[in-house]
Amino acid sequence: MTHTLSTPRPEPLCGMDTWMPLPAQVTAVDQENFNTWTFTTEFVDEEIRNIYRFAPGQFNMLYVPGVGEAAFSVSSDPARPDTLAHTVRRVGSVTRALERIEPGGVVGLRGPFGHGWPMDEMQGRDVVIVAGGIGIAPLRPVVYALLQNPHYCKRLVLLYGCRTPADRVYADELEAWEDNDAIEVLVTVDNADRDWTGPVGVVTNLMRRVKVAAQETIVLVCGPKVLNRVAAWSFLQLHVPPEQVFVSLERNMNCGFARCGHCQYGGKFVCSDGPVFRFSEIASIFAKEDI
């Protein structure tokens, strides 16, 4: 199956109740770096497995029984919605509990939630992806979808930065993409080791190495707050229209469907209005450091 790039946004598939997680079995756990793992899961119920769909950039709520629930972007191939991957960085109670789950274990999953990346707007244009650290997770489905449809966009560029070479998420895949003519990949690290021969410095430095046709370009950004801010502003300075710059945001989240108010962002909810926002829609909120 290949991902149809302009399908309508999949709606949550959570049984009768949007709060109700559905059992999903962990089928593989891959360690990405010292604190990050990719969990592959399959819904236990075959019917659910067959009808679940997600769009690149959407997220699920993963529930660890007895511990709690948190939001995680789907990081797998949208053309294979029967096997869902989430890439999880250990920060607190839920992620620590997930870390202890082995293949065969069962988690609760509800979703998909939110608005993802604007796949339909990428047609015939240049797409520049800027990701930092684990921020590459919600962008990986975009890369999969565009590589499966190589003539859909004119050009695909991935600029990725992380602290050290050992911190790279999807390191093997990044190396494979570097050899793929359908995508230009530039990876930078803040601190190199002896074996690192690539660029050193913050990811926005990589922008100098890429010629951007401003009016033709769609920019997708996901990373730590400071990266989102600097990358978005830098592309605006290169005259990319703010309507063509998209940023995926993270806020503390509870329900996932705009009921609890936890993820309020100015007058918006990250869970239902986002997590991917068009920069022009959030520019005024974005300008306020503390929000």
Non-local (6+) Cβ contacts of 260 within 8 A are 254
Candidate list 2, 20, 65, 92; residue touching ligand FAD; CB under 6 A? 92
Task: Give first-to-last CA distance, the chain, whole Å.
Answer: 41
Q: At what angle do helices 171-178 and 140-148 cross, to 10 degrees?
A: 30
Locate all alpha helices (DSSP H) within the chain, ordered by sequence: 46-51, 93-99, 140-148, 171-178, 225-237, 270-273, 279-286
Closest approach, Cβ 262 to ligand FAD, in A, equals 9
Residue whose Cβ sits closest to ligand FAD: 92
Rule CB under 6 A: say whether 143 interacts with ligand FAD: no
Rule CB under 6 A: say whether 7 interacts with ligand FAD: no
Candidate list 48, 85, 137, 158; residue touching ligand FAD; CB under 6 A? 137
**Which residues ranging from 190 to 229 are in contact with ligand FAD (CB under 6 A)?**
none
Q: Any idea which residue has 């511990």 for tokens?
A: 67
Closest approach, Cβ 73 to ligand FAD, in A, equals 4
Site string for ligand FAD, 224-253 (x = CB under 6 A): --------------------------xxxx
Rule CB under 6 A: say whether 73 interacts with ligand FAD: yes
Q: Any idea which residue has 């990250």 for tokens?
A: 270
Number of shown-chain residues binding ligand FAD (CB under 6 A): 22
Q: Torsion angle of alpha carbons 226, 232, 236, 238, nearest 10°?
A: 80
Rule CB under 6 A: say whether 131 interacts with ligand FAD: no
Helix, strand and coil content of the chain, in percent to the nearest 5, comes to 30, 30, 40
What does the alpha-carbon distance between residue 163 and residue 182 come to, in Å, rounded to a whole number? Answer: 26
Nearest CB to ligand FAD, comparing residues 59 and 235 = 59
Nearest CB to ligand FAD, comparing residues 134 and 232 = 134
Residues near ligand FAD (CB under 6 A): 59, 70-73, 86-89, 91-95, 134, 137, 250-253, 270, 275
